[in-house]
Structure 1
Amino acid sequence: MDLDELRTLLARHARPDMTTAIDGVLISKVEQPHPPSPAMSGTVLALIVQGAKRIALGDRVYEYRAGQYLVASVDLPITGHFTEASPERPALGFGLTLHPASVAELLLQAGPGDLPPAGAGAPSGMAVSDAPDDFVDAVVRLLRLLDQPRHLTVLAPLIKREILWRLIIGEQGAVVRQLGLADSSLTHIARAVRWIRDHYTQSFRVEDVAQLAGMSASAFYRNFQSVTAMSPIQFQKQIRLQEARLLLATHPGDVTGVGSRVGYDSPSQFSREYRRQFGAPPSEDAARLRGLPRDTAPALV
């Protein structure tokens, strides 16, 4: 696989905010490794063209490097960082936001023999694979349009559809296809994920969230664990601690107040779980955070 042209295109068009003139396309350029930082994954395809990155999701660790892609079909709380990056050889990545409606449209257009057989149960919400040559070729052709703006409006949507189609029929197609299926197990879990994220300060019974997702409690728990690598309660804790960390970056002197705002009744429990998650007490971590750059783009790219 020849990634030279892709490296050149990414390096030339990288911006500090990672955005490009093509809607939903992101480019990352990182010149030094940073400490692992928490973020939400977004629903996104991330292709590494130079360097390497490590992502932790619950008790699973995903590593991907030049010539490999990672796909996330659910917006999940992750911790990630580039492990290989330097000013002389920066980490370079391509990202494409995945939309359920776009996946559903392609699935409706596909013929009965065009798609691989569907597997049983919900796949993991995240997966890594080697990028096939035809997939990389499509990404190169898409990024060439950044140097040909008069073709961009017409051709970019077509090539984005090609990239998405190659994902759908590729090695991790099951992960992507479920994103566009209205009644898939992953869609039911995604509904529960959104509810927990929107109500993360509230206590809940797993049975009630399972009912909201339209599943039995046992099937819900099994599928939730498969997709997110966490139990529903662990997932809520991850969201609470990530939100607390964001708040502490701007309110470093109000540890007790921040813990209460994200749903902790006990300051000692908040400090204990925060330290276990981030390796330092809240006040100490908050002071360190204020000196670090803030990422605003999806953490997978």
Structure 2
Amino acid sequence: MFSPSFIQRILNVIPHNETYISQIKGLIIRHSDRPFSYEGIIQEPSICIVLTGEREVQLGDQCYQFNSQHYMFCPVNVPMCGEIKQATVNDPFLVMSLKIDIPMVQKILWGQTTLPISKNESKDGFGKWKLDQNLGQAFERLLLLHENPKDIDFLAPLVQQEIYYRLLTGEQGQKLKQMASIDSNTHKIARATEYLRQHLQEIVMIETLAALCGMSISSFHSHFKKITTMSPLQYQKSLRLMEAKRLIVQENRLASEAAFQVGYESASQFSREYKRKFGCCPKDEVKLRGKIIETRTL
């Protein structure tokens, strides 16, 4: 999808082997010339495009493969992990993530009467969509603004508006419209995922979440799983374990401290569930700190 000359221009203006937070609002670029895994991240509502290389994403029980032919659409906060299996100096891995600006999307919808929101919502949330030429070219223009940073403040919002317009008028535009509609199930479930993120230590009853979304318990459970691919209990468990991993790996916390901080009362239960998810006991993480692990959202 992206030409070698375009990739080279981007490589000339971004840092290598790190996660680069762009001057462009909501944009993050990750470069690596060696394989790495990413664990314990919460992907915010965003659009992600692999510019070169391949990316494996594990979301709940589902595994997705991404290259430059498709883009990843994430409508709500979701805990995920994955792996970049191949990357070299001559053939690096490069990916970009643009956090979705809901107010900007809403502004476009309010100004365009030809973009109605369907009452029939799609059955899933997370998406793997084909990257068409018009959308790809808009993202190219956005990324190439890094060659002239002084242009970013004025031009980036204009290009971002075009990107959202292309998405809204594309084949899967209804999913983005649902994100922007406060009455949609997607918007309501997004509220529930944010509540769980903010109340990580607490025991949260499903009745509380259903009431927050204005749904019956059965309807809430059904929509939550369709949109996040996980049940509310699985989702909260993933959030807790990923935050615990971050505390242990990045902040050098003891396993017992991390367990308590994310809401576990039983150390043995925490150890069992941690090992089941990450393949090693919490106390063994210190031995793995030399492994390349990406923990920033992307």
TM superposition score normalised by structure 1: 0.90
What does residue 55 of structure 2 align with? 53
C-alpha offsets along residues 25-78 of structure 1, whole Å, 9 cap, x if unaligned?
A: 222211111134220111211111210101111112221102321111111111
SS in 2 for 1:107: helix
- Tell me the equivalent position of 1:132: 132
In structure 2, do the counterparts of structure 1 residues 14 and 203 end up closer, same or farther at CA, with 3 Å as the change threshold? Answer: same
Amino acid at match of 1:28: R
Aligned pairs for 1:86-235 within 5 A: 86-112=88-114, 114=115, 118=118, 120-121=120-121, 123-235=123-235
- RMSD value over aligned CA atoms? 2.1
Shift, 1:205, TM fit = 2.0
- Distance between the aligned counterparts of 2:3 and 2:176, measured in 1? 24
Change (3 A) 1:66 1:251: closer
Contact 2:37 / 2:292 at 8 angstroms: preserved in 1? no
**Gap change, CA 1:204 and 1:21, over 3 Å in 2:** closer
Q: Is the 8 Å Cα contact of residues 46 and 96 (structure 1) preserved in structure 2?
A: yes
**Alpha carbons 2:40, 2:295 under 8 Å: kept:** no
Match of 2:42 in 1: 40
Q: Is the 8 Å Cα contact of residues 201 and 261 (structure 2) preserved in structure 1?
A: yes
- CA 1:266 to 1:3, structure 2 compared with 1: closer, same or farther past 3 Å? same
Task: Verify the 8 A CA contact 2:39 2:295 in the aligned structure 1.
Answer: no
- Letter paired with 2:287: A
Q: In structure 2, the residue corresponding to 1:291 is in which secondary structure? A: coil
Aligned residue pairs: how many?
Answer: 296
Counterpart CA distance in 1 for 2:43 and 2:120 is: 25
Unaligned stretches of 5+ residues in structure 2: none
Looking at structure 2, the residues matched to 250 and 149 of structure 1 have their Cα atoms a distance apart, in angstroms, of: 32
| SS of match in other structure, 2:137 | helix
CA contact (8 A) 1:252 1:287 kept: no
Residue of structure 1 in register with 2:76 after alignment? 74
Amino acid paired to 1:26: I
Task: Give secondary structure in 1 for the equivalent of 2:20.
Answer: coil
Is the contact between residue 40 and residue 79 of structure 2 (CA under 8 Å) also seen in structure 1? Answer: yes
Question: Over residues 62-117 of structure 1, what are the superposed CA-to-partner deviations in whole Å (9 max), with x where a residue is unaligned?
Answer: 211023211111111111222332222001123222121111111111223x45x6
Mapped to 2, the partners of 1:174 and 1:153 lie a distance apart of 29
Q: 1:251 and 1:147 mapped to 2: Cα distance?
A: 35
Separation of aligned partners in 2, 1:124 and 1:30:
31
CA–CA distance in structure 2, aligned partners of residues 20 and 212 of structure 1 = 35
CA contact (8 A) 1:192 1:212 kept: yes
Q: Distance in 1 between matches of 2:96 and 2:252?
A: 34
Code of the residue aligned with 1:110 in structure 2: it is: Q
Q: 1:172 to 1:60 in 2, by over 3 A?
A: farther
What is the TM-score with the length of structure 2 in the denominator? Answer: 0.91
Amino acid at match of 1:24: G
2:290 paired residue number: 291
